[in-house]
Amino acid sequence: MDREEPLTVICTVVAIDPTSFCYRVCSVCDKTLPDKGPSLCQFCNMKGFIAGSSDFERLYRVLLSVATENKVFVVICFDRAARVLFGCSADEFFEFSKLNPLSAVAAGKVLEGEMFQMTLSKPKNGNAQYLRVVSVFPLRSDFSPAINTLKKLYGVGGSSS
């Protein structure tokens, strides 16, 4: 299959799917773990890995609807690019969301209408259905990541963040 060059577009965030914004991976081998249930990695466990308090971490996997001047479509934004939008790690946002249950929905509202320059690529996995966000650059000079706005909204964090 032909590999196409990444495509750079100017786009606006139309919506974010707040239902599943992250996934769990083994902190040793980066293998995906089930969302629920035990967090022991079968790969590392077989190699003598002893589960500790940091046996897994969360990484972003965010579905975004974006609009260019020609069309609206869904892209998938993984950890490195999503950190630009959210301003923190997926673990930090997950913990924040536990204390503020509507924060994932609120993050979508905060980012809705923001304009970005995004570099998109076809997925490496042939079964994947969405273009991947390789990089994201805010176009507004005073852009503030979602977590900053949410901390102000919920009255937490202060200026120590």
The tens digit of pLDDT for each residue in 41-68 reads: 777 763 334 444 457 889 999 999 999 9
Token pair for residue 160?
């120590």
Answer yes or no: are the C-beta atoms of 86 and 146 closer than 8 Å.
yes
Convert the pLDDT of each residue in 75-123 to its tens digit: 999 999 999 999 999 999 999 999 999 999 999 999 999 999 999 999 8
pTM of the predicted model, to two decimals? 0.84
Is 108 in a helix, a strand, or coil? helix
- Of the candidate CATH numbers 3.40.50.920, 3.20.20.140, 1.10.760.10, 2.40.50.140, the domain formed by 7-22+64-160 belongs to 2.40.50.140
- Hey, where are the domains in the chain? 7-22+64-160
Token pair for residue 146?
């979602």
Nearest 5°: phi and psi at 143? -60, 135
Q: Which amino acid is at 82?
A: A
Nearest 5°: phi and psi at 38? -65, 145
